[in-house]
Structure formats: structure tokens, C-alpha cells
Amino acid sequence: MAMSSKNSIRENGEAAARTDDIVLSARDITVGFGDKIVLENLSLDIRRGEILGFVGASGAGKSVLLRTVLGLNQKRSGTIKLFGVDVDKASDADRLKLDMRMGVLFQQGALFSALTVLENVQVPMREYLDLPKRLMDELALLKIELVGLPRDAAGKFPSELSGGMIKRAALARALALDPDLVFLDEPTSGLDPIGAADFDELVAKLRDTMGLTVYMVTHDLDSLFAVCDRIAVLGKKRVLVEGTIQNMLESDEPWVKSYFRGKRARQIDMAARA
């Protein structure tokens, strides 16, 4: 994909994110394991319709935050509100409704190897919905097509798919319940640059057409430049800096500076401006 069209994706995104409707609000989050504190008084907001890129050094705690937001890790203190609901105060029924409004693509693709693509996409449907098989088949096929996979991919097993197809199948599963908010944990890792750019373009298109809000943990500078409306940098156990890519390029925070103004970043930035 040409850089100029990438830029237009980003500009569309900026327009889409210009509402101050907060979908996820994390306040003063502290998470630790034994004596080790991983996150301390971390605060972060995600606005409806934006693609937020979440970056930070390896081991900084990006996955820990994601797992905490999803309720898979305990926090020691702080408040997490999803769609305005404090998760600690939500009833089981409300928590279930919140879970259904979120989709997740875990870092390792995490498709079940013994299930076909169709069956993988149906896993959340079976968990949360009570639908006749024929309807589930139809819905799963729609998701498979939505992510740009051919219909015949539905009957294939993960071992029969390329890396890019696996990511798309995992995305189809994340979209199975028509979520409002999707979490993508390093979605382009392991893809070649063209496959990664295609995936970025798909994410931006889904955001534009479905009104999705996207929280993307990524190390991929191309993705950060191409599709992220806003970027949050995790460091020193909290969000060190957040803002647009321009804000990142202007930041004097040493880690942000070396990450966003390194040789590779400068090349991408120059290409994007050309």
C-alpha cells in the first residue's frame, strides 16, 4: 500500500477519534506479582472510534495491562471502567454483557489447532450465545469474508493457513460477537511488510465501517505511523507519554526519542511525508 493512502487512513482516523466518548478508562492501576510491581498508578483512556497504539520496551508490562483490563490478572488497586461501567462494581450479568462487547486477538494467534477456521470463529458464539448451528455457520462465514479470507478457508485447519491468513482468522474470531472494542496484541508480528501493511489497512477499514475502537499493542513502527490515531508509551510502570505520532516525534523522553527518532523511524516518517 502506498504511503499516501496510509496517510489518508490516519487522517480519517483522527476525524473518527475526535469525540471525547471514553470507551475504556483505567485509573491509578497497580499490578504486581509477589514483590515485583509491574504497573504502578497507571492511567489511560481510550476514546470511541480511535485506534490506540500501545508501545513500550519488552517486559514493560503491556501484556499485563491487557490481561488486567480483560480481568485475567488481579490488580492491587485502581479503577477500570469499560463503557462507563466500573468492572469491580458490575454484577455477573453486567460483566457478561461487557465481555460480549470486547474481542481479543492474542499475540500467539491462539487458534485451536484441532478446529477448522469456521469452528474457531464459532468458539465465542458457543460460549456466549445460544444459536442454531445453521445460523452460527452463516454468521461465522460472514466474519471470515469480512476479514478478507476466501469462503473455502472456513473448512481449513490452522496448519493449512499462511501466517497472514492465521492472523485474519484470529481477527474473525475476535469479531465473532460484533464487539465495540477490540484488543490486538502484536497483530502484525511475524508478517512480512506487505502482509503487515495489508493487515493494518484491514484494521483501519473495519474501524471505519464498523465503528470499532481498537487497542493495539505493537512494536511495528509502520503500524504506528500508518493507522494509529494516538499512541501511549508504557515505561517506568506507567504511561510515560501519550499523543499523536507528531507528539512522539517531538517528545524528549529518552526511550520515546530513541524509538521514534531512530534511523528506521526517520525513514518511515520521511516516506510518509513525501
Residues that bind ligand ATP (CB under 6 A): 33, 38, 56, 58-64
271 three-class SS? helix
* Packed helices 133-146 and 117-128: angle between N→C axes, nearest 10 degrees: 120
Residue 246 CA to residue 262 CA, distance in Å, equals 15
Please report how close the Cβ of residue 255 comes to ligand ATP at its closest, in angstroms.
13
User: CB of 234: closest distance to ligand ATP in angstroms?
Assistant: 7
Quick one: CA dihedral 15, 214, 83, 239, positive or negative? Answer: negative
Cβ nearer to ligand ATP, comparing 33 with 112: 33
59 or 132, CB closer to ligand ATP?
Answer: 59
Among residues 53 and 124, whose Cβ is nearest to ligand ATP?
Answer: 53
- How near is the Cβ of 69 to ligand ATP at its closest, in Å? 12
Least separation in angstroms between residue 26's CB and ligand ATP is 14
Neighbours of 194 (CB within 10 A): 10
Which CB sits closer to ligand ATP, 68 or 122? 68
Nearest residue to 269 via CA among 252, 253, 251, 249: 249
Least distance from C-beta 226 to ligand ATP, angstroms? 20
Minimum distance between the CB of residue 171 and ligand ATP, rounded to whole angstroms?
A: 19
CA distances 98 to 142, 210, 250, 256, Å, are 23, 18, 37, 33
| Residue 185 neighbours by CB under 8 Å, 6+ apart | 62, 63, 66, 104, 105, 106, 107, 217
Nearer to ligand ATP, 64 or 104 (CB): 64
Q: How far is the CB of 60 from ligand ATP (least distance, A)?
A: 4
- CA atoms 103, 65, 93, 127: torsion sign: positive
Q: How many CA atoms lie within 13 A of 242 on its CB side?
A: 16
**DSSP code, position 178:** -
Q: Which residues contact 227 (CB under 8 A, 6 or more apart)?
A: 6, 9, 10, 13, 51, 200, 201, 203, 204
Closer residue to ligand ATP, CB minimum distance, 107 or 244 = 107
Nearer to ligand ATP (CB atom), residue 180 or residue 186: 186
